[in-house]
Structure 1
Amino acid sequence: MRDVNPRKARRAVSAETDLKQPSGMAKTPRRVRRPKEVRERVLAAALHAFATVGFEGASTRAIANDAQVTQSLLLYHFKTKDELWRAVLQDIASMEKMEQLLASGDDTMTAAQRLMVAIRALVELFAKVPELHRLMTLEAHQPSERLNWIIENVNRAPYEAMCDLIAEAQAEGAVRKISPERLRFAIVGMAAVPFSVSAEYQFLTKRNPFSKIEIEATIDMICGMIFIQQ
């Protein structure tokens, strides 16, 4: 009896199966890779992790699990945790683009009107990404290389643009005469805190800070506190 090569036998069976398969039978669909969708899920999971447990407490394995991807796939897109952390901040910066917003105002708008637009944009940003203020609170309480990176690559340009705009609105007589730098931090705090501590806010006030009514009320409150009523 002739010996049969198992590998050749498997190929023969496979070929026979292919020949017998009806031409109209649907083929098993190939898995479609969606790198953009994977990247967005990973960035969202990473933002949540970094804002909740900090850079040191976050792990790429836990982030991958939260994003429902393998750790190897996460590391394919982001080689290190540090690279992932920077990508999260850059993604947020692309949403904000505050310096572009402040520079793109209509020539007919006063500085005060442009400042109102900027305040609305800030409140809406923090309502959309409440983790941003939590992350910054964890990073900004002491000097570090990561804080230096945030300042130089994310914060400095919009910070300077807003301070300049506040000073310009003060020169128009529309904004209270307080240090522009202090006012900028006050505006950011008022715009961010209701959303970054949303559970406490809702428990004590019985109102949802993310509702349209509350967002508009937050904008009105900030404007009422910094603008001089005519």
Structure 2
Amino acid sequence: MAIKQQKIATGHFTLVNTHFFDSVDKQMFLSEYWQQKHAITGQAKGRGTTFFIQPDAAQQWVLRHYRRGGLPGKLFSDQFLYTGLSRTRPFMELNLLYTMREAGLLVPEPIAAQVVRHGLIYRADLLSVRIPDAQDMHHVLSRGPVGEAVWQAVGRQIRQMHDLNVYHHDLNIRNIMLDAQPQVWIIDFDRCYQRADGHWKPQNLARLYRSLVKESGRSPAFFWTEQDWAALKAGYHQD
């Protein structure tokens, strides 16, 4: 299994996980292609629309078109400044996910990415495997509490990520998933990267803590306590 880069046409490049394909058809990055095959099973709204795809009976995928947030998103929507292929957001995310999967972390498995460049700007897409039978922990905690063992598992997953020196740009409770087993997964590695060890690790944890405090303040039906945070930290610091 390896990562393979291909040039489709002038300014059009793909990056493929050869566990799935040796090469990838550009049609696979179009939602219309999957709609014609009646393979779209759902979608999620965020900065753009993320499509959930079932290409066959055994697989579920996620198709995401990269979009900007905030004021830049209102002006440029899905356009990004091109500063080199290796620095494009989907290529960085796919390579990082592949590295983490190889290290045994529970993160989405990447399938393929594409970059379409026009002069100084590019647009991009990413295909990845959908985590089966999983919900984000914000949704889970809005329905009821989870036990100490789950919080410790959250801490251990973050520690494994940090031990690989992966900085998560947006570590919040909505980017942590819980599957049916239950196992803890971390998602959304856009703009994330490996960096030298430093103070960013406790700052990463502090960002997650702030997200929990924020969600707890928004709704009395959000089942989180300081004791849960203590369990998460115990898991994080467990040798």
Give me the TM-score of the superposition, normalised by structure 2: 0.21
Which structure has more helix as a fraction of its residues?
A: 1
Bigger share in strand: 2
Please tell me whether Structure 1 or Structure 2 has the larger radius of gyration of its CA atoms: 1
